[in-house]
Amino acid sequence: METLAVTIDPALDLFEEIERLKRELNAVILAHFYQNSDIQDIADFVEDSLGLARRAEGTEAEVIVFCGVHFMAETAKILNPEKPVLLPDLAAGCSLSDSCPPEQFAKFKAAHPNHLVVSYINCSAGIKALSDIIVTSTNAEKIVRQIPEDQPIIFAPDKNLGGHINRVTGRQMLLWNGTCIVHEQFSERKLRQLKVRHPNAPILAHPECEEPVLRLADHIGSTSSILRASIEMDADEFIVVTEPGLIHQMERASPGKRFIMAPPDHGCACNECPHMRLNTLEKLYLCMRDRTPELMMDRELLARARRPIDRMLEMS
Ligand code: 13P
Ligand code: SF4
């Protein structure tokens, strides 16, 4: 923060400056729902992982500014190899993606040669290159249902999303043992206690949560589907079991409704994604002003990682 304070003139209106740079660069700003509210407010599109991939694929802008985490920016680059992709903070990674190193996964895959590899988009380009189809939490069920029942599947890297898809489809996909540090924090015990105090509040949960938490949910879905449920369900208050950044859009869409965050296991703010929250309005301004950091990727890896993403876009 100190470095930023020195670099940025405090008299600057960062919103105005970012708008000006957007025109100057002919840039589009894509942001995930877990970004800070000010970033969501200045972005051109605020969506879930699938929505952002689609926006990246269809954009006519010359520069993509990606406010999310590394694997999402990689997906935008894979879909636009010729365009610069700028990120506010190159260090914004993902615990789920990190839980599946490509070298180890390649061995796991080799040990199960007759399996189709379906990977959650929350993985590195190296894992995407080893996959047959990519899915997001929005389309995972739909895509898995299109795969013949006698085809064995490896699902990576999220064992919670994979387990959820196994339960709803009746499949027995082989699951890689990865988790999201944010969603595994939610406590079943504390969620039950919260529900006692708010008996009429539906529980909306992301499928990256553990099974005991998901069992309590009235609606399980991706960030965009949780947002939609909060608009469509007839209730005055909701219990939200995902990263709290999403509440900004829920409150905008339904100003009269109340959104209560589910508590994590400890008394910390650890349901905020530490990776997503590395991005700030200041860093967004600086990355556009200085055209850096820019995501650089190996061309051959880009091409190999693109096939399973194209397959996802065809099947979803
Ligand atoms: P979705 O927005 O696709 O539901 O993904 C959630 C997430 O954890 C992104 O990191
Ligand atoms: Fe990764 Fe979890 Fe953060 Fe999403 S919320 S970016 S899955 S660590």
Q: Do 27 and 88 belong to one domain?
A: yes
270 within domain boundaries: no
Q: What is the DSSP letter of 44?
A: S
266 within domain boundaries: no
Q: Do 133 and 282 belong to one domain?
A: no
Q: What is the pLDDT of residues 6-27, one digit of tens each?
A: 579 999 999 999 999 999 999 9
- Residue numbers of the domain that contains 247: 183-261
The percentage of residues in the chain with a pLDDT greater than 70, rounded to a whole number, is 97
Q: Do 6 and 82 belong to one domain?
A: yes
57 within domain boundaries: yes
154 within domain boundaries: yes
As for how many domains the chain has, the answer is: 3
Q: What is the pLDDT of residues 182-195, one digit of tens each?
A: 999 999 999 999 99
Ligand 1 midpoint to CA 8 (Å): 31
Q: What is the pLDDT of residues 46-72, one digit of tens each?
A: 999 999 999 999 999 999 999 999 999
Encoded tokens for 39: 């970033």
Residue 4 has pLDDT above 70, yes or no: no
Residue 267 has pLDDT above 70, yes or no: no
What is the number of helices (H) and of strands (E) in the chain?
16, 12
Q: Do 66 and 110 belong to one domain?
A: no
267 within domain boundaries: no
269 within domain boundaries: no
Q: Do 83 and 6 belong to one domain?
A: yes
pLDDT of 264 reads: 79
Report the pLDDT averaged over residues 257-285: 90
Residue 3 has pLDDT above 60, yes or no: no
109 within domain boundaries: yes
CATH number at 12 reads 3.40.50.10800
Residue with tokens 């990190």: 98
- As a whole number of angstroms, the distance between CA 251 and CA 293 comes to 32
Residue 39, C-beta contacts closer than 8 angstroms, at least 6 positions apart: 31, 67, 88, 279, 280, 281, 284
Ligand 2 midpoint to CA 181 (Å): 7
Report the pLDDT averaged over residues 285-300: 97
Q: Which amino acid is at 105?
A: F
Nearest to 259 by CA among 278, 271, 273, 242: 242
Q: Which amino acid is at 172?
A: Q
Ligand nearest to the CA of 124: 2
Ligand 1 midpoint to CA 180 (Å): 10
pTM equals 0.96
The percentage of residues in the chain with a pLDDT greater than 90, rounded to a whole number, is 94
Q: Do 14 and 36 belong to one domain?
A: yes
Ligand nearest to the CA of 137: 1
Residue having the nearest C-alpha atom to atom 3 of ligand 2: 273
33 within domain boundaries: yes
Ligand 1 midpoint to CA 63 (Å): 23
Residue 106 pairs with which residues in a beta bridge?
Answer: none
Contact residues of ligand 1, CB 6 A cut-off: 33, 48-49, 122, 136-138, 180, 208, 222-223
Residue having the nearest C-alpha atom to atom 2 of ligand 2: 180
